[in-house]
Amino acid sequence: MGKVGAGGGSPAGLSALLAGAGLLVLCAPGSCGGGSCCPPRHPSAAPRWAPTPGGLPHQGPRGRAPAEPLPQLGRPLFAVAPGDRALSLERAPGTGAPVAVAPRSGRKRRSGEDLEKAERGEGTSRSPRGVLRDRGQQEPGTPERDPDKATRFRLEELKLTSTTFALTGDSAHNQAMVHWSGHNSSVILILTKLYDYNLGSITESSLWRSTDYGTTYEKLNDKVGLKTILSYLYVCPTNKRKIMLLTDPEIESSLLISSDEGATYQKYRLNFYIQSLLFHPKQEDWILAYSQDQKLYSSAEFGRRWQLIQEAVVPNRFYWSVMGSNKEPDLIHLEARTVDGHSQYLTCRMQNCTEANRNKPFPGYIDPDSLIVQDDYVFVQLTSGGRPHYYVSYRRNAFAQMKLPKYALPKDMHVISTDENQVFAAVQEWNQNDTYNLYISDTRGVYFTLALENVQSSRGPEGNVMIDLYEVAGIKGMFLANKKTDNQVKTFITYNKGRDWRLLQAPDTDLRGDPVHCLLPYCSLHLHLKVSENPYTSGIIASRDTAPSIIVASGNIGSELSDSDISMFVSSDAGNTWRQIFEEEHSVLYLDQGGVLVAMKHTSLPIRHLWLSFDEGRSWSKYSFTSIPLFVDGVLGEPGEETLIMTVFGHFSHRSEWQLVKVDYKSIFDRRCAEEDYRPWQLHSQGEACIMGAKRIYKKRKSERKCMQGKYAGAMESEPCVCTEADFDCDYGYERHSNGQCLPAFWFNPSSLSKDCSLGQSYLNSTGYRKVVSNNCTDGVREQYTAKPQKCPGKAPRGLRIVTADGKLTAEQGHNVTLMVQLEEGDVQRTLIQVDFGDGIAVSYVNLSSMEDGIKHVYHNVGIFRVTVQVDNSLGSDSAVLYLHVTCPLEHVHLSLPFVTTKNKEVNATAVLWPSQVGTLTYVWWYGNNTEPLITLEGSIAFKFTSEGMNTITVQVSAGNAILQDTKTIAVYEEFRSLRLSFSPNLDDYNPDIPEWRRDVSRVIKKALVEATGVPAQHILVAVLPGLPTAAELFVLPHQDPTGENKRSAEDLEQISELLIHKLNQNSVHFELKPGVQVLVHAAHLTAAPLVDLTPTHSGSAMLMLLSVVFVGLAVFVIYKFKRKYFHSC
């Protein structure tokens, strides 16, 4: 299961960067290499749930304070001409908001003349359908344009108050991290770095500090150490005065800590290398550090001292306790790997995380990289039977399996949001590939109902799943989603958490007031819903809590979403109507809590102007923010409520230092706003004023007033509405039909909801409806649609099942196996349960609740056990059976069979196992030229070969999840001679009795026989046998020519045999095992049959080397029956 963020997931969007983030990262394209700009993210900063193994721009868990090294992309963010220094921008860790990058789209370069024309409003422009036409030219047959509906641009150039500062000496630096301390603070910190792509490391760094809102900066390299190379900058989210700098670990592993907003620093050495940090959401000095060797450390002194918490922690799977859900503020949730590679969910206290003090909230193992702790919920995934199963714990209670519609059959699930005591999840079902279905849960996160089908998905720059879903800031229950329908992607909007969706109505007129002919549902407005934490990037959408009616996005008008003909649109009435504001992509930022919109054009050329709107995008005024055109790399706004100071980062030329332009917007306001400067505005959806069960009236500043909003922004009145059917969604197991009614799905039995209650108790009997979570409506049909308490009916046990906790039918000897008893219906509190494990042990329970964690049992013998369970109550009984295979691990398989055999003679092959008793096994035999295997339950088979030649025999032994095999080669011919060989005793001193040694010595013996007798090597085969004393079998084989005819007769083999025996008896055969060690070869006693290797103490692969009798250069094995004094018949 993965945790992703929707394309828009963060309600703060771009404006969060200006509102209070105060930290960004600038990295030249491709500067990820080596990890200096792209270390792993912590899921609370960029949530992703995957195993995984294992993020998306979605708001992280509330109250959490991630602080990991800032990730960046490892490739250029957008296409630029050679020499351009294009920089990406990214949010900082430790802000409680996401870290993400949205790439700029490639854009056609325009000449300086074209640029000036565009800024003056001259030249050509695009119609909403992408048709180029001259400004002022009207399409034939269209009504007159309405100048009152056109977006107005004031081309008179005004000037903003600004100052520019150059980071002198850092022109070669290609990475930067910038932090603005916070509200009422004038301190800005900038860390610049030079990343050397050839060396793969940081070679230089500089630290700059401003105390006057960015007017001037002081270089602090001497205060941190002139030779110190810094890699990352961290800021405490609960106390912005506390700063932490991390040195480059390739040179030294140290922390530099400041408690005065970066004015002074203290250095502390580390004995581990930090990969990511996680600050506590409340305690400013508490930090978790994850090391590069997968160990988790904690500090209660803001990094001055550290202690080891846990080893083998899964990357990004550690969390602080969530306030309100955990009683202990120092509780840590983590996923750790066991020595055998399994993952488990652990909790422990920060200062006392010993083995004895660790808890395991989820019984058994979980899927790797699946733990998520977010708000009141904990999620884990467990795969069994080839299907993933998802479990949730609400407010740290017992885990329950998450219930999707029965035949959803999810391939993948991602948790998008856990806001307002409800889980929003994206599920990829069995028949989906590039889309996901959106599901929304009840309060406990257990029962899920469908909110929207086929939402478009894509892969992010790091392979993470991106869902095209955006939660609009400031308006509860409002989402935008891109849905794929009939192979077209269209944008839909909902105001009630997914109960109802509709297309976006396109603007009535275009930028100049010309009418736009766009008829629903064939034509509508479509938006790009991917959030970028860099305000100066394309494809953006933005909204803000303090400006709940204003949404700014890029998109197009037509039958489907397109990546071409992108324009900028704004809605000032929460998505009901839209206006086109620019025909080219701009970054639109929020000032003064949304009272002023700032637009900066996307271009690879230098610019010196921006546009301001005081009336929610209806008219724009042109302002210059610098006297010299600037290549813009990024923008950072003053944290706090007002956001009246903005810093623009860029460079004047491709090789110049970074320029920091401080823009102060205070001068554009006349005064502070008073009550009379506001007008009321009522939230609505196509005229319907009741949204999420309430009528909400907001205060908006009058468009003609240029006053500063201050604390009055966002004031609101709310009045509950009378409940109607529109305030209720279908309950779990019910589906909405064309008449609007919620009726049971074909797979759902409504009476099953009462299965967990007992006679005399009560349960909530669903009406088929449930009120949308966070809906505030009252009275009306609420009583009619709300679930009713009902007495639990007395029921006989029915639908009894017994399964293992992991869904397998195997268990390991000597280890705990957990059995789960499941009952579909019955009085669970007054039921007698009897379990017989089949090994002579039985237990009884008085109710099912005492068995919620499963029944653990240890089998001490291998075999197949019949596990039975009997359930009885006063109304009836039920029983179930499980046949459990108990095994012990199979370690080695050795195939035993002769080296050679005669044609048409029965041969026995035996699979020898270690250990010998492992439980139920299946044997798969492959021999000869058979294309189909022989499958048996016995470890021996007999067979004949009807033709001469070399034959390979393979046996595969299946034991549980393990399959081992061994392969041997056997020669089949009419005649051969064999003789047992012995050796001088000194050979035993050097015999380790392993297959490799026997193979090498066999080759040496054969070589000695050939040299002593002159017999061709093709006629000799030597196989050293296992065991001590050392012995070997000598085979004399007839050689074949390429036509298959024997060159040697039986008489020839007899002559060769006599020659070999003669030389052996004369002690003429010997070899040197090592310098000074001579070994004599003798003829031993006669053998009665070809020898077989029966040694079971070696692995299958080792046995293959041990007894393979086909050596390089060996011709053939031939078997022959004859009698002689020394040689014998076989």
Q: What is the mean pLDDT of residues 569-590?
A: 92
Sheet architecture: strand order including 372-374: 372-374, 377-384, 387-394, 400-401
> At residue 342, what is the residue type?
H
Residue 1104: strand pairing partners: none
- pLDDT of 845 higher than 50: yes
Q: Which of 374, 380, 342, 375 is nearest to 361 (CA)?
A: 380
Lowest mean pLDDT among 394-408, 554-568, 752-766, 812-826: 752-766
Sheet architecture: strand order including 343-349: 313-320, 331-337, 343-349
Write the DSSP symbol of residue 421: G
State which H helix or E strand residue 347 sits in: strand 343-349
Task: Give the per-residue pLDDT at 255.
Answer: 95
Task: Give the per-residue pLDDT at 741.
Answer: 92
Helix 1050-1065 and helix 995-1013, axial crossing angle in degrees, nearest 10? 100
Task: Give the per-residue pLDDT at 902.
Answer: 83
* Strand, helix or coil for residue 1052: helix
- pLDDT of 130 higher than 70: no
For the chain, what percent of residues have pLDDT higher than 90? 43
Task: Give the per-residue pLDDT at 1118.
Answer: 30
- pLDDT of 162 higher than 50: yes
**Please, which pLDDT band fits residue 20 given cuts at 50, 70 and 90?**
very low
Cα–Cα distance, 82 to 690 (Å, whole number): 55
For the chain, what percent of residues have pLDDT higher than 70? 78
How does pLDDT run across 971-984, given as a tens digit for each residue? 887 788 888 999 99
* Strand, helix or coil for residue 361: coil
Using left for φ > 0, alpha for ψ between -120 and 50, and beta otherwise, residue 47 falls in: beta
**Please, which pLDDT band fits residue 1101 given cuts at 50, 70 and 90?**
very low
Q: Bigger pLDDT: 58 or 1037?
A: 1037
Task: Give the per-residue pLDDT at 1042.
Answer: 55
Helix 1100-1107 and helix 995-1013, axial crossing angle in degrees, nearest 10? 10
- pLDDT of 119 higher than 80: no
Among 265-274, 453-462, 762-771, the range of highest mean pLDDT: 265-274
Phi, then psi, of 33 in degrees rounded to 5 = -45, 135
Write the DSSP symbol of residue 304: S
Q: In angstroms, how far is CA 270 from the centroid of its own chain?
A: 30
Cα–Cα distance, 47 to 57 (Å, whole number): 8
Task: Give the per-residue pLDDT at 579.
Answer: 95
Average pLDDT, the chain: 79
Q: What is the mean pLDDT of residues 569-576?
A: 95
Task: Give the per-residue pLDDT at 534.
Answer: 54
Residue 568: strand pairing partners: 554, 582
Task: Give the per-residue pLDDT at 183.
Answer: 64
Write the DSSP symbol of residue 572: S
Task: Give the per-residue pLDDT at 109.
Answer: 31
Cα–Cα distance, 417 to 424 (Å, whole number): 5
Sole residue written with tokens 């030597």: 1022
**Taking the complete model, does pTM exceed 0.75, yes or no?**
no
Task: Give the per-residue pLDDT at 757.
Answer: 67
Measured CA to CA in angstroms, residue 777 lies from 375, 665, 723, 803 at distances of 25, 42, 5, 44
Give just the sign of the alpha carbon dihedral 912, 917, 918, 920.
positive
Cβ 125 vs Cβ 133: under 8 Å: yes
Phi, then psi, of 27 in degrees rounded to 5 = -140, 135
Q: Bigger pLDDT: 443 or 108?
A: 443
Cα–Cα distance, 602 to 584 (Å, whole number): 8
How does pLDDT run across 1055-1079, given as a tens digit for each residue? 888 899 989 999 999 999 888 899 9
Cβ 464 vs Cβ 477: under 8 Å: no
DSSP 879-906: EEEEEEEEE----EEEEE-BSEEETT--
Q: What is the mean pLDDT of residues 386-412?
A: 92
- pLDDT of 43 higher than 50: no
Q: Which of 187, 192, 205 is nearest to 166 (CA)?
A: 192
- pLDDT of 745 higher than 90: yes
Task: Give the per-residue pLDDT at 644.
Answer: 84
Cβ 462 vs Cβ 1: under 8 Å: no
Cβ 875 vs Cβ 839: under 8 Å: no
- pLDDT of 765 higher than 80: yes
* Strand, helix or coil for residue 1014: coil
Q: Is 627 exposed, middle or buried (0-12, 13-18, 19+ CB in 10 A)?
A: exposed
Q: How many CB atoms lie within 10 A of CB 957?
A: 22
Cα–Cα distance, 589 to 633 (Å, whole number): 15
